[in-house]
Amino acid sequence: MIHGLAVLGAGSESLESIIERAETSLSQLLDLRACKFEVNISDPPLARIVPSGEVTHVGLLWPVDNIGIPGPQAEILAQWRGHVVGRFVLTPTPGLPVSIERRAVATSMAELVAAALLEARPVG
């Protein structure tokens, strides 16, 4: 999944295609009911999958290995080199455990999307 997304990002595919591929791949990887990319990050903050694969929710580590990603929604920030360009909003399958390896891969995919977006519109 990461390789396929990286190939799209390195090629001449549209940003929309790259984002759509990421949404589909994240949905499959994390067994989500839905996934969408948002440029604007609004409040209140959602449960977040961080680059290590851990999930934080209301300031606490969430036991995803046992009880799944907290809902009704969670997020993965799309960031590259300290620049946040959006987020993937995840609608998890309730109670379905997701391994830390899959969650870490998911954050890497979000980083690839962020890199592609920043390349298309460089930070001034």
- Distance between CA atoms of 95 and 67, rounded to whole angstroms? 5
The rounded percent of the chain whose pLDDT value lies above 70 is 88
Contact call for residues 109 and 25 (beta carbons, < 8 A): yes
The rounded percent of the chain whose pLDDT value lies above 90 is 67
Q: What is the pLDDT of residues 12-65, one digit of tens each?
A: 678 898 899 999 999 999 999 999 999 988 877 899 999 999 999 988 999 999
Q: Fold for domain 2-120?
A: Beta-Lactamase (3.30.450)
Q: What DSSP element (H or E) covers 8?
A: helix 2-10
Which carries the bigger pLDDT value, residue 47 or residue 10?
A: 47
Q: What is the pTM of this model?
A: 0.90
- pLDDT of the residue at 118: 86
Domains of the chain, residue spans: 2-120
